[in-house]
Amino acid sequence: MIAYILRRVFQSALVLLIVGLVAFSMFRFVGDPVENMLGQERTQEDVDRLRDQLGLNDPFPVQYWTFLSRAAQGEFGISYRQGRDVADIIAERLPATLELAAVSGMLALVFGIGLGVFTAIRKDGWVSSTIMSVSLIGVSLPTFLIGILLIWIFSVELDMLPSFGRGDTVDLGGWTTGFLTESGLKALILPAITLGLYQMTLIMRLVRAEMLEVLRQDYIRFARARGLREKSVNFRHALKNTLVPVITVTGLQLGSIIAFAIITETVFQWPGVGLLFINAIQFVDIPVMAAYLMLISVMFVGINLIVDLLYFAIDPRLRVDGGAGGH
């Protein structure tokens, strides 16, 4: 088990090193930093001096190492477009994205598990089959079309909810939150649904499939024979045993929620890091792109690692044979 954990940690570190290399290469090969910093009237002497000052004459591994150690301290340089420290810009935008992702994740989890259990228990009812068919459409619709559809219905036709921005925010010592004002909460509804819908359908279909599998098992029949109440059988016996794959998938989906937030944030002009990234691509703002890439990789790799380690915590069977193969 220790060996397995060590191997996973090593793999994660390797992935981060490779991503770091990609981010570093972007600085190196996309555009010339000296070109960006010096004006039209420059002499070869200026160029040489600046190259030396910036460490651009150092060998590649040295430069890469400098880049990595600065990145680890959160230093990514100055945004080409906004002329401000990239770390500051990201710190300013991050709360918006994290709040949106957290609410979407909660929505997806609560409704996904709820509807999944419901459709599994009443699998022949018309309500269940309606939910299943609607979910199929939900999976096929591209995220941005769902967002536009919601804007059309709730902002244009019904005029109930705002279609862009974050509403009023409250500053809690560097963390701006939209949870504390009415307009902030209202502005959160449509983006959260847009972002969470796909994950919700995914979790729902997974829970349903797992529940149907578990409900067929003998111990469920036995629990029923013992005269346990239906509620207790479904939730305490059946649902509990479906949770391992659900946690895995949910954990991995957390990463894609943050990535897909790029699309949702653009549709709703939500001022988070996703919108920042899209604007950075449009204007080829390399420092911002590189910083976003590093940030999101740390999140992804971290989430994957935690999900893997959670296996051991949840499923005692894996601990017995050292994780070499639990099944």
Partner 1 sequence: MADMPAPASTRARMSRFNRAWQSDFAYKFRRSPVAVVSFIVMAVLVLGAVFAPVVAPHNPFDPGSLNLMNGFTAPGTPNAFTGESFWLGTDDQGRDVFSTILYGMRISLFVGFAAVMFAMVLGVTLGLLAGYLGGWTETIIMRAADVQLTFPAILVAMLIFGIAKGITPVEYRDQMAIWVLILAIGLSDWVQFARVVRGATLVEKNKEYVQAARLIGRTKAAIMLRHILPNVLSPVLVIATISLALAIIAEATLSFLGVGAPPTQPSLGTLIRIGQGFLFSGEWWILFFPAVTLLALALSVNMLGDWLRDALNPRLK
Can residue 144 be called a binding residue for partner 1 (CB under 8 A)? Answer: yes
Min dist. Cβ of residue 218 to partner 1 (A): 27
Which residue's CB is nearer to partner 1, number 108 or number 151? 151
Which residue's CB is nearer to partner 1, number 68 or number 259? 259
User: Using CB under 8 A as the criterion, what x/- string covers residues 12-31 for binding partner 1?
Assistant: ---x--xx------x--xxx
Q: Which residue in this structure is represented by tokens 């070109």?
A: 35
Give the tokens for residue 21.
């290399």
Give the tokens for residue 134.
């609607």
Min dist. Cβ of residue 249 to partner 1 (A): 14
Give the list of residues 6+ apart from residue 123 with CB closer than 8 angstroms, or none: 208, 212
Give the tokens for residue 44.
């070869």
Interacting stretch for partner 1, rule CB under 8 A, among 62-70, 115-123, 138-146, 201-209? 138-146
Write the Ramachandran bin of 172: left for phi over 0, alpha for psi from -120 to 50, otherwise beta.
beta
Contact 96, 272 (CB under 8 A): yes
Interacting stretch for partner 1, rule CB under 8 A, among 57-65, 109-117, 135-143, 317-325? 135-143
Can residue 256 be called a binding residue for partner 1 (CB under 8 A)? Answer: yes
Cα-Cα end-to-end distance for the chain: 15
Which residue's CB is nearer to partner 1, number 228 or number 249? 249
Q: How far apart are CA 272 and CA 94, in angstroms?
A: 6
User: Using CB under 8 A as the criterion, what x/- string covers residues 184-203 for binding partner 1?
Assistant: --------------------
CA Rg, the chain, in Å?
Answer: 25
Phi, psi angle pair for 177, to nearest 5°? -120, 145
User: Using CB under 8 A as the criterion, what x/- string covers residues 269-308 for binding partner 1?
Assistant: --------xx-xxx-x-x--x---x--xx--xx--x----
Can residue 89 be called a binding residue for partner 1 (CB under 8 A)? Answer: no
